[in-house]
Chain A
């Protein structure tokens, strides 16, 4: 059974390209364009990992992470952001995020983090 990943980003091109990369590496990938949509999907089914953009319209990645964590307690969450804000990063890691990655992503690193 392949590892399932939910890719959440409001930028369509990032969602598409990242999904294709992960699929070609053997992951099962679904995408969501907002935090709310991602939370709703997590209510319907389980994921092994969630790749979450931090800055999105509506609820941001941090808030989406909190809500998803309540639904899927064991899920691996990786935050990704074009913005580096030291305080937010620390807070997220303390709250149990696996990694806080800067965009553009180092894809090898993402793959390492996602592999079980």
Chain B
């Protein structure tokens, strides 16, 4: 629009009273700004003073400015669009990468689990047959020991001492065989309501290494009831308490406590012994892995299997001093 006298020009006269007169505008030269063919704005040239005639080159100039603005706007839009595209693309790549990492780690976990269970199954089969085979020679030894105990006279004190040792070692060997067989026998838990405090005290009493070790039980409410297979729970507790007691070597304290929150119950067996060193931490639950020269490497494997069969989880907590094993019992929905 080239309005030589804007106050009377039909294209601009509607602005005369409200806008042109108060400022004293007399002539106007307007050029449209378009984006993708649509009118999106106007570049206005306003003249104050005597009205004037817009020359052809001035009109051309105004049109060029407007075109230039149009182009600049379109370029800005394109840049923003491109940037949005790049952001979206990066986000997509990141999501893909995350999904891939997740799938890969899940795959690795499943694979490790498969290796672990296959290894366990193989070890289990071998262990079971060895264990059974060992019971025959052990039976003959025990019969012989019984016979000799009956016939070696009391004054043969050394002989009687040796017989005592044989008896103890038969008992120990029998215990190892039981453990090996327990590992291969995945018995489904028969759940009942068990008083945890009483179970801990009973298990503690069964662990001969617990002599000299203090036991402190901090469970509230008392009785602290959990749903568990009593025999399997006892074995789990015996295994954990045995480990702690051996670590304490007859001097120290084992503390059993429980925390209940919205996610479930966490039962901790804590000792103030030397703890589990960094290098062993990841491997102590593996079958046949032991940090003790007399260990079979089965105690914690069996314990975590018992936990798994109950739908629980057994883990080792990092603490400043000593070791803290935790049995995590998820909250079961109540209907």
Chain A contacts to B: CB under 8 angstroms: 11, 13-14, 17-18, 20-21, 24, 80, 82-84, 102-105, 107
- B143 pairs with A82, CB closer than 8 A: no
Residue contact A20 to B147, C-beta cutoff 8 Å? yes
Given contacts A17-B140, A104-B138, A105-B142, 18 further A-B contacts (CB under 8 A): A14-B136, A14-B139, A17-B143, A17-B147, A18-B143, A20-B143, A21-B147, A24-B147, A24-B150, A24-B151, A82-B133, A83-B132, A103-B138, A104-B135, A104-B139, A104-B174, A105-B143, A107-B142
Task: Please tell me if the beta carbons of A103 and B147 are within 8 angstroms of each other in the complex.
Answer: no
Contacts of B170 in A (CB 8 A): 104
Give complex CA distance A105, B141 in Å. 10
Q: B136, B138, B170: which has the most chain A beta carbons within 10 Å? A: B136
Return A26 CB to nearest CB of chain B, in Å.
12
Query: In the complex the two chains form, is B143's CB within 8 Å of A21's CB?
Result: yes
Closest chain A CB from B168 CB (angstroms): 14
By a CB distance below 8 angstroms, the chain A residues around B141 are 104
A20 to B151, CA, bound (A): 11
The B interface, classified by DSSP as helix, strand, loop or mixed, is helix
Cβ of B146 under 8 Å from chain A: yes
Asked, given contacts A24-B150, A82-B132, A104-B174, whether A11 binds B140 with beta carbons under 8 Å apart, the answer is: yes
1/0 per residue B114-146: CB within 8 Å of A? 000000000000000000110111111111101
Q: Is the CB of B140 within 8 A of A107?
A: no
139-162 of chain B: CB within 8 A of chain A: 139-144, 146-147, 150-151
9 contacts between A and B (CB under 8 A): A13-B144, A17-B144, A17-B147, A20-B143, A21-B146, A21-B147, A104-B135, A104-B141, A104-B170
Query: Are the CB atoms of A14 and B140 closer together than 8 Å?
Result: yes
Complex Cα distance, B134 from A11, in Å, reads: 12
Complexed CA–CA distance, A63 and B143 (Å): 25
CB distance from B231 to the nearest CB of A (A): 14
A103 touches B144 (CB 8 A): no
A13 CA to B138 CA in the complex, in Å?
Answer: 10
Question: By the criterion CB–CB under 8 Å, are B140 and A13 in contact?
Answer: yes
Q: CB within 8 Å of A: which residues of B?
A: 132-133, 135-144, 146-147, 150-151, 170, 174, 181
Q: Which residues of A contact B143 (CB under 8 A)?
A: 14, 17-18, 20-21, 104-105, 107
Alpha-carbon distance A13/B137, docked complex (angstroms):
8
Residues in B whose Cβ lies below 8 Å from that of A103: 135-136, 138-139
Of chain B, the residue at the smallest CB distance from A18 is B143
The minimal Cβ–Cβ distance linking A58 to chain B, given in whole angstroms, is 17
Least CB distance from A74 to B in Å reads: 27
Closest to A12 in B: B140
Min Cβ gap B259→A in Å is 38
In angstroms, how far is the closest chain B Cβ from the Cβ of A18?
Answer: 5
Residues in chain A near residue B135, CB distance under 8 A: 82, 102-104
When chains A and B are docked, how far (Å) is the Cα of A18 from the Cα of B143?
Answer: 6
B132–A107 touching, CB < 8 Å: no
In the complex, chain A residues whose CB is within 8 Å of the CB of B138: 103-104
CB distance from A36 to the nearest CB of B (A): 20
| Minimum CB–CB distance for B131 against chain A, Å | 9
User: B139 touching A82 by the CB < 8 A rule?
Assistant: yes
Name the B residues within 8 Å of A83 (CB-CB).
132
Distance in Å: Cβ of A59 to nearest Cβ of chain B? 19
Closest partner residue, chain B, to A105 (CB atom)? B139
CB distance from B149 to the nearest CB of A (A): 10
**B142 contacts A104, C-beta separation under 8 Å:** yes
When distances are taken between beta carbons in the complex, the residues of chain A under 8 Å from B140 are: 11, 13-14, 17
Which of chain B's residues have a CB closer than 8 A to the CB of A107? 142-143, 146
Closest 10 CB pairs of A and B: A17-B143, A82-B135, A13-B140, A103-B139, A104-B139, A104-B142, A103-B135, A104-B138, A17-B144, A107-B146
Q: How far is the CB of A72 from chain B (nearest CB, A)?
A: 25
Across-interface contacts of A21 in B (CB, < 8 A): 143, 146-147, 150
Chain B CB within 10 Å — which of A83, A102, A104 has the most? A104
Q: Which residues of B contact A102 (CB under 8 A)?
A: 135
Cβ contacts under 8 Å, A105 to chain B: 139, 142-143
Which of B142, B150, B170, B174 has the most chain A CB within a 10 Å cutoff? B142
